[in-house]
Amino acid sequence: MTDSPTIAFFPEASFGAALNCVGIAQQLRLLGANPVFICHPGFTGLFTEYGFREFHLPDTERNSAEMNADYWQNFITTHLPHFNLTPFEQLDTYVTPAWDAIVDTVETVEDGLKDLLAQIKPDVIVLDNVIMFPAIANAGCPWVRVVSCAETEIPDPKVPPYLSGLSARDTEACHRFQKSYLSNIRPQHQRYNDFRKAKGLHVLPAGTFLETSPWLNLLLSPEAVRYERADALSEKQFVFLDGCVRDQGHFKPPQFAIDVGPLIYMSFGSLGASDTDLIGRMIHVFADLPARFLVNVGGFLESYDAVPDNVILGSWFPQPSVVEQCALFIHHGGNNSFCEALYYGVPSLVMPYCWDGHDNAQRCNETGVGLSVDRATWTEASLKSTIIELLKNDAMNAHLAETSARMKKHRGTLHAAEAVLKIANAKI
């Protein structure tokens, strides 16, 4: 055993979770720890760009990088029509198939993950996911749960149901949603519990796919949007993070053909970029607004022909640096994007399409840090007026400036790293 504990990060196969973990790992490295990353296929090289060693899950017929990328791209493309449905309607059309796919992933990577953990011999494992992998629970070392989705992932009588997009005040709708949610996912939950039992783990209660860590749970839920809870979470076991933004080099925006007006950034994430029809309609609206727009379109640059002079498209942007320089962030409500906007004091225009984006859209409206727009019903006039309203809302911007100052003072990445390191040092 060395004096430099090895911390193995295992984020889910999404850029939000991956980059959230990078922020914590950067601070751990500065504190003298040895952070390493376990990669899903398709994420090779992402963490080495930040100077971290990667351990790659072995490619299998189902788990190869190419097939994994194709699988999720086809999954999202198939479900694009369902993203215009309400969260309640998505339970059958999207949420249930998504849990099926997530359980498939757990079963597929189990043996490879077990072998990698035996090779790494971590002092602590940091899991940023919505489901437990038996190989992690059976690894023989402490593990930390990172809740980088909305705070609703941790249930409470005063917190609306996870994925519902509801207000806690609407008790009847919350009850109806939760009842339907549990009924819809029962087969997937039973299949997952059967797999857990086969691997020597206890079964989890209805609707639960990831237990609370007995060591440490990190919640990416800034104070400005945090819920009041009926049952307070143990301060020893749960740590709330006021943002968890990674260090990113400064990005200088390119020169626009029409280079006047505030800078606005739009990104619906790597999967949301598939909806080229929606993004194309929005770009058409942007042409008539007195602002400059950077638009992340992922791997679909070739899908756009006529681009207005006040719009620049890109397949990728260094998001923290871009958001820091923006007057407005238009996004899908992913928790990483939502928290980055808060960290830099930028209002959010949230257009959710699935998962916890609905919860963050609702919370955005409730707490006065932005506005949400329904992706199925907006018009050119309503989108224009919402953007202008957010740009001119002095009271909201003053509130966000105070939120940003508080979050930067508390430095969530450092707080998280110190808590993880404390667990590692206790083990050593």
SS3 314: strand
Q: Are residues 38 and 95 in the same domain?
A: yes
Residue 95 lies in a domain: yes
Residue 393 lies in a domain: yes
Average pLDDT value for residue range 98-127: 97
pLDDT in tens, 173-211: 999 999 999 999 999 999 999 999 999 999 999 999 999
pLDDT in tens, 62-105: 555 555 556 666 777 787 888 999 999 999 999 999 999 999 99
User: b/e string for 354-364 if b means 16 or more Cβ within 10 A?
Assistant: bbbbbbbbbbb
Count of domains observed in the chain = 2
Rounded Cα distance, 271 and 72, in Å: 8
Mean pLDDT of the chain: 92
Percent of the chain predicted with pLDDT > 70: 96
SS3 35: strand
* pLDDT of 421 higher than 70: yes
- The CATH number for 377's domain is 3.40.50.2000
* Domain span holding position 381: 263-408
Q: Are residues 233 and 267 in the same domain?
A: no
The lowest-confidence range among 63-77, 152-166, 344-358 is 63-77
Closest CA relative to residue 82, chosen from 71, 68, 93, 96:
93
What is residue 76's predicted lDDT score, i.e. its pLDDT? 72
pLDDT in tens, 247-285: 777 899 999 998 899 999 999 987 788 899 999 999 999
Q: Are residues 200 and 301 in the same domain?
A: no
Q: Are residues 307 and 364 in the same domain?
A: yes
Residue 252 lies in a domain: no
pTM above 0.85, yes or no: yes
* pLDDT level of residue 426 (50, 70, 90 thresholds): confident
* pLDDT of 15 higher than 80: yes
What is residue 80's predicted lDDT score, i.e. its pLDDT? 81
The lowest-confidence range among 110-119, 264-273, 329-338 is 264-273
Residue 88 lies in a domain: yes
Residue 36 lies in a domain: yes
Between the CA atoms of 234, 239, 242 and 244, what dihedral angle is there, to the nearest 10 degrees? -160
Q: Are residues 267 and 170 in the same domain?
A: no
Q: What is the DSSP letter of 214?
A: S
DSSP string, 63-130: T-HHHHHHHHHHHHHHHGGGGGS-HHHHIIIIIHHHHHHHHHHHHHHHHHHHHHHHHH--SEEEEESS
What is residue 113's predicted lDDT score, i.e. its pLDDT? 97
* pLDDT of 352 higher than 90: yes
Closest CA relative to residue 102, chosen from 21, 182, 14:
14
What is residue 243's predicted lDDT score, i.e. its pLDDT? 75
Q: Are residues 278 and 364 in the same domain?
A: yes
What is residue 60's predicted lDDT score, i.e. its pLDDT? 64
Residue 72 lies in a domain: yes
Q: Are residues 228 and 91 in the same domain?
A: yes
Say if residues 124 and 146 touch (Cβ distance below 8 Å).
no
Q: Are residues 57 and 139 in the same domain?
A: yes
Q: Are residues 376 and 419 in the same domain?
A: no
What is residue 1's predicted lDDT score, i.e. its pLDDT? 40
What is residue 82's predicted lDDT score, i.e. its pLDDT? 87
Rounded Cα distance, 37 and 48, in Å: 9
Residue 373 lies in a domain: yes
* pLDDT of 427 higher than 90: no
Say if residues 163 and 88 touch (Cβ distance below 8 Å).
no
Beta partners for residue 238, in sequence order: 217
SS3 7: strand
Q: And the tokens for 179?
A: 């009842």
Closest CA relative to residue 368, chosen from 388, 332, 397:
397
Q: What is the maximum alpha-carbon separation in the chain? A: 63
* pLDDT of 61 higher than 60: no
DSSP string, 219-260: EE--GGGPPP-SSPPPTTTEEEES--PPP-----PPPPSS--
Q: Are residues 417 and 400 in the same domain?
A: no
> Is beta strand 311-314 parallel, antiparallel or unpaired with respect to 292-296?
parallel
Residue 236 lies in a domain: yes
Q: And the tokens for 185?
A: 């996912």
Q: Are residues 21 and 162 in the same domain?
A: yes
Report how far apart, in Å, the C-alpha atoms of 206 and of each of 87, 191, 265 are: 19, 12, 40
User: b/e string for 261-277 if b means 16 or more Cβ within 10 A?
Assistant: eebbbbbbbbbbbbbee
Rounded Cα distance, 311 and 253, in Å: 12
Q: Are residues 194 and 340 in the same domain?
A: no
Residue with tokens 């919640």: 219
What is residue 79's predicted lDDT score, i.e. its pLDDT? 77
Q: In what order do the strands lie in the sheet with 348-350?
A: 311-314, 292-296, 263-267, 328-331, 348-350, 370-372
pLDDT in tens, 20-48: 899 999 999 999 999 999 999 888 999 99
